[in-house]
Structures are given as C-alpha cells and as structure tokens.
Amino acid sequence: MKIGIIIHSRTGHTYSVAQKLKEKLSADGHTVDIQQLRLAGGQDVPGKDSKIENPPDLSGYDRVIFGAPVHAFSLSKVMETYLTQVSSLSGKAVICFVTKGLPFGWTGGNRAIGQMKEICESKWAIVSGTGTVVWNKNHEKQIDDVVKKFRGLLDLKNE
Ligand SMILES: Cc1cc2nc3c(=O)[nH]c(=O)nc-3n(C[C@H](O)[C@H](O)[C@H](O)COP(=O)(O)O)c2cc1C
C-alpha cells in the first residue's frame, strides 16, 4: 500500500514517531512518505487567515496517518488549520496520533485526538485507529506500542 504520514512537529518528537513508523511500515513492504506541514510565510503559530505552505495531495495514498503535538490542551493549530482546509477525505481510511508532554488524557491528548477525529469524519474519512505518545522516560516503549498497533491496522491480511 502507499501510505502518507502527514505531520506537524515543532520540536521533533512527532517527526521521530513518523520516522519509526516509516521504517517499520517500509519493512512490511509498504511505500511510505513523510510530509511535514509548514505555514506559509514562515509563521510558527497560525492566525485566522493562515494557510499551509505545502498542503500534501492525499489522492495517491491508500492510507493516511496524521500526527501532531498537543499544544495548550488542544490539537496543534497547524494541524487543525491543515485538516480544516483539506477539501475532502471522502472514503479515505486514516489513522491519527498525537505526542504530548504531560501525563493523563485530560491534559490535552483526549481532546486533540477528538478534534482530529471530528474534523476527519466531518470530511467523510474513516478513522480506523488512534494513538498517543507521552514524551516521558518511557516514550520509546510507547512509540513501539503505537507502531505495533498501527502495523496491525494496516496489515492487508486483516482486511
Ligand atoms: C506551546 C506548547 C504547548 C504545549 N502544551 C501541551 C499541553 O497542553 N499538554 C501536553 O501534554 N503537552 C503540551 N506540550 C508538549 C508537547 O505536546 C510535546 O512536547 C510534544 O511531544 C511536542 O511535539 P513536537 O516535538 O513534534 O513538536 C506543549 C508544548 C508546547 C511547545
């Protein structure tokens, strides 16, 4: 399958999860691209009229994985801006994950995943799974668990 991993990553954590996913999914025989979202004009924080400089074309992907950090108890504004601006995800099977710094779902992880699911489903995507990595001393193990879960979700034998 052709898989697009579309991420926003400000300090590199979400990118490192994407890299691990790419490594393992490629070893499973998938063709995997990582595309990092950037705001037009080199902005770091989007305003109300911000645009994504390099919005990925998702049409060539059989599956799409969206990944982003939690910022201020919510989904990062860059990913929110991108997903809101995507025209349609009709019939697209997607997986969503977030990385975050604080423990517990109520410190933004549950809300951010809920936002991603809600926007994707409002554009007629099928959200087949989600994952969260808390960036603490156990983050490597959590990344392994998320990668394992997503490999299972993407396994053709499971379809
Ligand atoms: C401005 C800002 C706000 C943040 N807010 C939260 C938060 O509300 N909850 C949380 O768990 N982590 C929060 N974090 C931590 C990040 O979510 C965490 O470090 C994440 O893994 C960063 O991903 P990245 O390196 O891909 O940007 C925040 C970090 C920044 C820079």
Q: Give the DSSP letter string of 22-52.
A: HHHHHHTT-EEEEEE--BGGG-SS--TT--B
Please report the atom of ligand 1 found closest to the CA of residue 10.
Answer: 27
| Global confidence as pTM | 0.96
How many other CB atoms are there within 10 angstroms of residue 83's CB atom? 25
Cα within 13 Å of Cα(26), Cβ side = 11
Residue 28 Cα to ligand 1 midpoint, Å, equals 30
How far apart CA 80 and CA 46 sit, in angstroms, is: 10
- Structural domain boundaries in the chain: 2-158
Is 2-158 a domain of CATH 3.40.50.2000?
Answer: no
Q: What is the pLDDT of residue 149?
A: 97
Nearest to 38 by CA among 92, 76, 93: 76
> Does the pLDDT of residue 157 top 90, yes or no?
no
> Does the pLDDT of residue 100 top 50, yes or no?
yes
